[in-house]
Amino acid sequence: MMGAAGDGCAVVAAVGATMGKRSEEEKRRLYKEAVGATRLGLGVNLVLGAAKLAGGLVGGSRAMVSDAVNSLGDVFTSAVVLTAFRVAQKPADAEHPYGHTRAEAVAGSNVAVLVIVSALMVGWENLRSFSTEPKADIPPWWTLAIAGGNVLVKEALYQYKIRLGRRLGSLALIANAWDHRSDALSALAVLVSLAMVRILGPRFAFLDAVAALVVVGVILNSATRLLLSSAQELMDAQAEPEVVEAVRRAASEMPEVRRVDKLWVRKSGLEYLVDIHVQVPADLSVHEGHKIGHQVKDRLLERFPNLRDVLVHLEPYPHRHEGIEE
């Protein structure tokens, strides 16, 4: 009997090790694709930022210069995110038993503050331009080509990253995709303003500064949302309802689990930490209950590769909370 029990424990341990290995491989793939998409965005933003800055300075377009600042700011943001991804993949240690995945949220919050400050500075400079004599220069036609190309490239990046983010279940990539969409809209505002100045003449040059302020508003909106989402993550807010419900459903499907009582899911970078209370038959032995707890954990880690860890708490079913304070 002892030999059979030992073999059973060995099988459970082997299955758990296989799941853990598979989960680690999935996580590496997750980070690899996320890093690849971020690097692509960095390269594109660097080229677009340099082109728009040169075009704005030579063509005399404040709106294009503001949009260039936005793209170059995105380059810095992507560089910080890449560094955060590298730190986030470091294994847990004695000082960080939950790992280093919060590095992404720390980086995001700091970057958001820097972007907000830079956007406010650009906005102030454009507000001051209304009190000065507007420039009589009409932007050359090639500035429209730069702005139009920027719209197309940014929209293409949005479509690529939103699909990848949804497939990987990466909220960071989805947020980054919407940042590209906001960039595309601000670039569209620049394109429209440049076209109107060329069509209507120098008297409407003030439209360029108006478009620049629209760009600033878009930047402030994106940066504020990034700051709020990073703060929510750092404060251990409950994850999105669809994520929580998917975890609850996966645990409830197990025949040994009578009921999922409490479920807390915290986002940590590209991964999640789960605390789950499940009710099991009250007449089970400690050994059987312990085995079920591991099965719940292994099932969730296998089903959701972006879960970093699962803490399972067992409760008797039916649970009447007799003399127990929860």
- Tens of pLDDT, residue by residue over 157-212, are 889 888 887 776 665 667 667 777 777 777 787 787 778 777 877 777 677 677 77
Q: Is 140 left (phi over 0), alpha (psi -120 to 50) or beta?
A: beta
What's the CATH number where 34 sits? Answer: 1.20.1510.10
Q: What is the pLDDT of residue 11?
A: 34
- 234, 257, 274 - which closes a domain: 234
Looking at residue 169, its pLDDT comes to 60
CB neighbourhood size of 320 (10 A): 8
Which domain-ending residue is among 198, 219, 234? 234
Do 101 and 247 fall into the same domain? Answer: no
Report how far residue 291's alpha carbon sits from residue 297's, in angstroms, rounded to the nearest whole number.
10
Domain annotation covers residue 271:
yes
Task: Based on the fold, state whether residues 229 and 256 are members of the same structural domain.
Answer: no
DSSP result, 239-270:
--HHHHHHHHHHHHTSTT--EEEEEEEEEETT
Cα(278)–Cα(261) distance, integer angstroms: 6
Query: Which residue from 261, 175, 185 is spatially nearest to 218, judged by alpha carbons?
Result: 185
Q: Which domain holds residue 144?
A: 10-234
Asked if residue 324 belongs to a domain, the reply is no
Whether residue 303 is contained in a domain is answered as yes
- Same-domain status, 171 and 260: no
Domain presence at residue 125: yes
Whether 218 and 301 map to the same domain: the answer is no
Q: Are residues 223 and 287 in the same domain?
A: no
| Amino acid, single-letter form, for residue 11 | V
CATH number at residue 302: 3.30.70.1350
* Cα distance between residue 232 and residue 147, in whole Å: 35
**Number of separate domains in the chain:** 2
Whether residue 246 sits in one domain with residue 136: no
In-domain check, residue 4:
no
In whole angstroms, give the CA distance from residue 174 to residue 293. 33
Instruction: Tell whether 188 and 305 lie within a shared domain.
Output: no
| pLDDT one-digit tens code per residue, 243-271 | 899 999 999 999 889 999 899 999 887 78
Q: pLDDT: is 212 or 46 the higher one?
A: 46
Q: Which of 234, 258, 274 is the last residue of a domain?
A: 234
